[in-house]
Amino acid sequence: MSLAPRLLRSLDPLAVAAGADIPDAVTIGGITLSRSDLLGAATSVAERVARAERVAVLARPTASTVLAVVGCLIAGVTVVPVPPDSGAAELDHMLTDSGAQAWLGEAPEGTALPVVPVRQHARSWHTYPEPGPDTPAFVLYTSGTTGLPKGVVLSRRAIAAGLDALAEAWSWTAADVLVHGLPLFHVHGLILGLLGPLRVGSPLVHTGKPTPANYAAAAGTMYFGVPTVWARIADDPDTAEKLSAARLLISGSAPLPAPVFERLAELTGQAPIERYGMSETMITLSARADGERRPGWVGVPVQGVQTRLRDEAGEPVPHDGSSIGGLQVRGPMLFDGYFGRPAATAECWTEDGWFRTGDVAAIDAAGFHRIVGRESVDLIKSGGYRIGAGEVETTLLGHPGVAEVAVVGLPDADLGQRIVAFVVARDTAPGEQELIDHVAGQLSAHKRPREIRFVTSLPRNAMGKVQKKQLGNGSPTPPPT
């Protein structure tokens, strides 16, 4: 699918002028906006911010956020989406680092920046020329697992390429209805979940909170969710049955546990789609709507993407499905760099032009990819072996007594690192040795955990990703009784 000149091509002023409306283009926060509503109100926003370079948007799941983002895209103004639950230090860093000149729409109390209102019922039919494809659309701040968050600069060209590649992989058309309740300050909910429908022309229903009840109440053909959402739906057979009429169930932002994958397939009659990406790359790997779907694997490269694996010495790793290495990618949807940080940007790229994702993966002979985890926390070097935390986690999740698990490598004087599993048990906690033996019975013996620590919950960020760097600093927690 080629790039269209207009990023949000379903918001075509000529089509609106001719009366070709989409009455339910976006439903969010109890408000339904037609294509005409979106174009008129967002163009009114564009008139207010057209002379700005960058503005901050407090990205609550509201119609105001939608209009703010679309208005900026119409005017060619870069959006800095701000998580609504940002702490004072995070907020100050994002605003200062990005150089945002104003808040657009809602603003936190006590802000020193000017606030530009977003008026839902205002209308303007002024026509703006389409900004150039290299115009920065967003500065998205990463989760900041190592130091302060960095601003990821995504161009209009990259976003268009990424969305078109997904439309091709997922057979996504204007006949679809997308349903999700994801945050509007990350790639998953904002770019895929909002701009995707506006590019393809498919209606969007944002459920506010991504609860099983809200998903069941929305009649969609495509559903986006993080693994936590899908796990709750898998535990709710009535909801899962109501989603069985959907065309695609798509999971991302964190690995989907194999038992959840299999339970969803059993209850809905279809295996979920898993895909892989990050703020810097958008989505580069995905199972296809017309292709194979495997639990624990995130599919094949999407249109225009190439991948490769390298070991610590920079040497190629065989694509045999089991050997693991650092995943490197290249393609048209990659970011333009970290805002104001040329040195940090340069560090992410190889001399021959590949982006180092920082993730560890395996690739099989058919091109299917399995993500093992982050090189910094998920590549465990124990007793001379290189072990991926992900396969140990998947094996532990196959035990009926394990609800959630995170595996890390902690310092060990003898082994270098010892494998430690943090386990959230189901109703009755299994014994520590029982879980160790369970892994040793299914994987190589050197991949077994040396220690099991039972916890009541795992630390997660807003997208449901486990924050492993918060684990391992305290003493073992006794199992629940």
pLDDT in tens, 55-100: 999 999 999 999 999 999 999 999 999 999 888 888 999 999 999 9
Count of domains forming the chain: 2
- 478: in domain: no
Eight-class DSSP state of 45:
H
Mean local confidence (pLDDT), 134-146: 83
Give residue 104's domain range: 1-376
Q: What residues are paired with 374 via a beta bridge?
A: 359
Choose the final residue of a domain: 320, 348, 376: 376
**Residue 336, pLDDT score:** 97
- 480: in domain: no
**Residues 396 and 351 occupy one common structural domain:** no
- 313: in domain: yes
CA dist 306 and 328 (Å) reads 8
> Is the pLDDT score of 474 beyond 60?
no
Among 437, 468, 441, 431, smallest CA distance to 450 is for 437
Average pLDDT across the chain, whole number: 91
List the CATH number of the domain containing 13.
3.40.50.12780
- 215: in domain: yes
The model's confidence at residue 146, banded by pLDDT at 50, 70 and 90, is low
> Is the pLDDT score of 118 beyond 60?
yes
**Residue 50, pLDDT score:** 94
Helix (H) or strand (E) holding 276: strand 273-278
**Residues 390 and 368 occupy one common structural domain:** no
> Is the pLDDT score of 312 beyond 90?
no
**Residues 304 and 444 occupy one common structural domain:** no
pLDDT in tens, 356-383: 999 999 999 999 999 988 877 777 888 7
**Residues 366 and 397 occupy one common structural domain:** no
Mean local confidence (pLDDT), 212-226: 96
**Residues 364 and 428 occupy one common structural domain:** no
- 475: in domain: no
Query: Is the CB of residue 324 less than 8 Å from the CB of residue 388?
Result: yes
More confident: 193 or 147: 193
**Residues 293 and 389 occupy one common structural domain:** no
Decide the pairing of beta strands 204-206 and 222-225: unpaired
**Residues 349 and 266 occupy one common structural domain:** yes
**Residue 233, pLDDT score:** 96
**Residue 123, pLDDT score:** 96
Choose the final residue of a domain: 344, 361, 376: 376
The pTM score is 0.84
**For residue 375, how many other CB atoms are within 10 A of its CB?**
17
Which residue has tokens 């070097």? 381
